[in-house]
């Protein structure tokens, strides 16, 4: 009879010490394996972690606002915001002019396309009329040939 001395025994003492060979957390149950009630330390730690993460978020936001304020002051001193409204007005005028130019070109192209379409339709009508006249002449000739034959 051989006993494996390297394998830990599944006793309450080993499980309480975290030596459970199955690898499960003994504190995952409402009571530990020894029958002792579970403490609320994990809940307290969770609350502390959440409070710290909220605190860190607030500190990060405040730091970002402060950095933006510093950048704003530096840009104002260097004159980047001078005549800002004038530059914006000029930009708006340029955009308006380009839009009006593009609109005029589009109207011109559209008119040209309509004119070409009308010309093609007129040519098609003329061709239809010419074909109809030619067909009538041929039918007339054929009728005369039949009558004389």
The residue among 100 and 57 whose pLDDT is bigger is 100
Please tell me whether residue 1 adopts helix, strand or coil conformation.
coil
In the chain, % helix, strand, coil (3-state, to 5) comes to 75, 0, 25
Q: What is the pLDDT of residue 32?
A: 47
* Residue 91 main-chain phi, psi, to 5 deg: -60, -45
Domain ranges of the chain: 8-38, 103-149
pLDDT digits (tens, 9 = 90+) for 130-147: 898 988 888 888 888 777
Write out the DSSP string of 116-149.
HHHHHHHHHHHHHHHHHHHHHHHHHHHHHHHHH-
State the Cα–Cα distance between residues 57 and 65, nearest whole angstrom.
Answer: 12
* pLDDT tens-place string over residues 19-46: 555 555 555 554 444 555 555 666 666 6
Give the pLDDT of residue 76.
83
């Amino acid at each position: 009879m051989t006993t494996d001395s390297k394998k830990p025994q599944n006793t309450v003492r080993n499980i309480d010490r975290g030596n459970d060979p199955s690898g499960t957390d003994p504190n995952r149950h409402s009571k530990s394996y020894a029958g002792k009630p579970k403490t609320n330390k994990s809940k307290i730690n969770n609350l502390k972690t959440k409070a710290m993460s909220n605190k860190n978020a607030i500190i990060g936001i405040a730091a970002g606002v402060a950095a933006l304020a510093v950048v704003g002051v530096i840009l104002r001193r260097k004159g980047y915001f001078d005549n800002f409204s004038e530059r914006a007005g000029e930009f708006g005028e340029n955009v308006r002019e380009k839009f009006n130019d593009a609109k005029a070109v589009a109207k011109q192209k559209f008119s040209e396309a309509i004119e070409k379409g009308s010309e093609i339709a007129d040519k098609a009508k003329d061709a239809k009329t010419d074909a109809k006249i030619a067909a009538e002449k041929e039918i007339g000739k054929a009728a005369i040939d039949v009558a004389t034959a």
